[in-house]
Each structure stands twice: as C-alpha cells, then as structure tokens.
Amino acid sequence: MQISSLLESLIEGLRCLPGVGPKSAQRMAYHLLQRDRKGGMNLAELLQNAMINIGHCQDCRTFTEQEKCRICVSSKRQQSTQLCIVETPSDILAIEQTGQYSGRYFVLLGHLSPIDGIGPNEIGLDKLKQRLANETINEVILATNPTIEGEATANIIAQMCAELDIIATRIAHGVPVGGDLETVDGTTLSHSFLGRQKIDLN
C-alpha cells in the first residue's frame, strides 16, 4: 500500500479495539484525520489517562481511579446485607442498569479454570472469604456466567458460604423475556422447567 507509514501504524493500532477489522480501522483513521483531529487528540489523552490511572477497588475489585469505587463508598449500599458476585466489571454495569439490585458487589475478574492456572486465589476468593467474615452479609447472589466454568465457580463459592452459614443464591436460568420458545436451546429450556415457580394469584 502506498500510504504514509504513520497512518499505516495508526490503522494497525486501532485493531486492538474489539470488533474492529482492517476495513473499519481504515475508516476510523481516515475519519479522524479528515474530520475530527480534535476528537482524536482528546481520545489519545483519555486512553492514556485511563490506562495509567484506572485500578481496582480495594473492596469489590471493579475498575476505579479511587481507592474504593462509588458503589462501595455509598452509605446506602453499605446498609444492604446482600453481596452479588460477578465475573467482570462490565457485569456490574449490566446489573445496575436493571435497577433491580441495590446491594454491594464482588468482582472475580475471571472464573475458575485450573487448566489455565486460574485457581481460587487468582479470582480473589481469599479476599472474598475475608469480606464474608468481616461484613454483615446475609445473602450471596451468585451472578457468574451460565457457562461450565461459571457454574463451577458459583459452586465453590456456595460451599464457602455454607461453611460460614450464609445463604447463597444463584440467578435464574430460563427462557429470555420476549423470546420465542421454539428458538431457545434445549439446556436453557430444561433449566426453565426445573426452575418453574408457582403462579401466585394474589
């Protein structure tokens, strides 16, 4: 390609973004150079700032540039006795957007995967045990992903909770709302039968 080498490296660099292939990267680079150099400069600064300064919350391990995240320092959240366990910081965002949950969180930053050398300490279970022992927590909601690894991780944490006499619950698996029974896979459908609930008419 007969284009400038700086431009070539920029196009290559943009491909570190998820979902960005060679064509989109090219379009992005030309767009920024042609129409939005200010936005490009701003993005460079924000990226640098975020990559350097964003660390993990001391309590829940989500992303924050402070010692503790906004949820952990909230006094309203501290009154709650529920703790929700998720795999990644973006899971917190998804749960917060439902508006259904007002307790605290703990982020595993992964899931158990002995084959990749990810054991209980790598996903912070030592820290979680400490929190469960020191804080007033009555219910641990296991919101790990519905995958084999996610289930295994949820089981290990449920055992830990049983030892400490804390209730552990698992989020429901079933047919997605607005979905179509016909298109739902068999495993999900059998989960939705196993997890059926009595219709309460009151």
Q: Distance between CA atoms of 186 and 66, rounded to whole angstroms?
A: 44
Residue 6 in contact with its own copies, rule: CB under 8 A? yes
DSSP state, residue 109: S
Spell out the residues 6+ positions from residue 118 whose beta carbon is closer than 8 angstroms to its own.
Answer: 110, 111, 112
The stretch near its own copies (CB under 8 A) out of 46-54, 137-145, 146-154, 176-184 is 46-54
Q: Is 135 in the site for its own copies (CB under 8 A)?
A: no
Q: State which of positions 92-121 bind its own copies (CB under 8 A).
A: 92-93, 96-97, 109
Binding flag, residue 83, its own copies (CB under 8 A): no
Largest separation between any pair of C-alpha atoms in the chain: 73
Residue in this structure with the two tokens 């209980």, named with its chain if needed: 120
Nearer to its own copies, 13 or 176 (CB): 13
CB of 28 to its own copies, least distance (A): 5
Q: What's the closest the beta carbon of residue 25 comes to its own copies, in angstroms?
A: 10
| C-alpha dihedral sign at 100, 105, 109, 112 | negative
d(CA 156, CA 122): 14
Helix, coil or strand: residue 172 = coil
Among 90, 85, 83, residue whose Cα is nearest residue 155: 85
Least separation, in Å, of the C-beta of 158 and its own copies? 25
Residue 70 binds its own copies (CB under 8 A): yes
Measured from the CB atom, is 92 or 142 closer to its own copies?
92
Do residues 57 and 69 lie in contact, with contact meaning Cβ atoms separated by under 8 Å? yes
Q: Which one of 5-13, 119-127, 136-144, 179-187 is the stretch in contact with its own copies (CB under 8 A)? A: 5-13
Segment 49 to 68, residues that bind its own copies, using CB under 8 A: 49-54, 62-66
Please provide the DSSP assignment of 94-124 as one string: HHHHHT---SEEEE-SS--BGGGTB-TTTTT
Closest approach of its own copies to the CB of residue 106, in Å: 15
Shortest CB 141 distance to its own copies, Å: 17
Q: Which three-class secondary structure state does DSSP give residue 40?
A: helix
Q: Which residues bind its own copies (CB under 8 A)?
A: 1-7, 9-10, 13-14, 16-19, 24, 26-34, 36-37, 39-54, 62-66, 69-71, 74, 88-90, 92-93, 96-97, 109
